[in-house]
Structure 1
Amino acid sequence: MTDSPTPQVWPTLRAIDAPALIRFLVDAFGFEETVVHGDGKRVDHAELSWPLGGGIMLGSVREDPDDPWALKPGTFGAYVVADDIDALHARAVAAGAEITRKPFDTDYGSRDFTARDPEGNLWSFGTYRGAPR
């Protein structure tokens, strides 16, 4: 068990086929399915944890014109910290991820790659952990 606090900022997205997107994010990138609420192909609320900390929330697109959280599928983008970029890239390729930028080294010491999920969202993975607080 870790002493890290639970995430307090949750990036969120909507998906046309939320169950399929969840499976993809788990299989291709290594997110961990924490909770999924819904019925059949409809996901009302899901949380996926990232092994190094943090996570995302997602749900199915709703056909409700008064939806207070009407996010368009495929418009999400995130930078996710990972330790072994080359191994994660190989995993993503094996799972069928569309790689939009192969692994590369940045001028600030990070190793990164970028992929697009089946819904069209962009995921950048890198070793850069951000500036110290």
Structure 2
Amino acid sequence: MDITIHYAFLPHTDAEAALGFYRDTLGFEVRQDVGYEDMRWITVGPPGQPGTSIVLHPPATDPGVTEDERRTILELIAKGSYTAVTLATDDLDGLFERLAAAGAEVVQEPIDQDYGVRDCAFRDPAGNLLRINQRA
């Protein structure tokens, strides 16, 4: 049995800012951009990897979410405590420099971790935590 991760979901609070970050700064392909009323779901992914995507979605739009719950979710997103994703690259330092130069919020500069990886961390425009590992 072969199981893969097809989609991961990250909330966005500004569709255009998310699109600019994931498409223009990270270099991901836009695979879908779907609007409904004043909301957008944007599917992006790394070029050459059509089976792996991130869906950038409006937060707290599920039926039954109260206004208090929505406010709490937005606060957690802004702090980077709501969700996270880890990416990997062959050139951690080069990608770090590119993201930092583009104005991405640096959380951690590249460092060799005690648990055996070299990584760094950023926040996307919504505040989601992005860790980036160096491939071995």
Same fold (TM > 0.5): yes
In the alignment, structure 1 segments of 5+ residues that lack a partner are none
Look up the match of 1:72. 73
- Give, in whole Å, the separation in 2 of the partners of 1:109 and 1:51: 27
Identity %, equivalent residues? 31
Q: Aligned with 1:11: secondary structure?
A: strand
1:18–1:41 Cα contact (<8 Å) kept:
no
- After TM superposition, the runs of 4+ consecutive aligned structure 1 residues lying more than 4 A away are 62-65
Q: After TM superposition, give the deviation of residue 98 of structure 1 in Å.
A: 0.9
Q: After TM superposition, give the deviation of residue 18 of structure 1 in Å.
A: 1.8
**Structure 1 residue 11 corresponds to structure 2 residue 19:** no
What per-residue deviation string (whole Å, max 9, x for no partner) do you get for residues 38-68 of structure 1? 169630x22111247422112223666536x
- Give, in whole Å, the separation in 2 of the partners of 1:76 and 1:52: 25
In the alignment, structure 2 segments of 5+ residues that lack a partner are none
2:92–2:133 Cα contact (<8 Å) kept:
yes
Alignment map for 1:18-57 (pairs within 5 Å): 18-38=15-35, 42-43=39-40, 45-51=41-47, 53=49, 54-57=52-55
C-alpha RMSD of matched pairs (Å): 3.0
**Quick one: which amino acid aligns to residue 27 of structure 1?**
D
Higher share of residues assigned helix: 2
- Give, in whole Å, the separation in 2 of the partners of 1:12 and 1:21: 13
TM-score by length of 1: 0.73
1:35–1:47 Cα contact (<8 Å) kept:
yes
**Quick one: which amino acid aligns to residue 18 of structure 1?**
A
Q: After TM superposition, give the deviation of residue 128 of structure 1 in Å.
A: 4.3
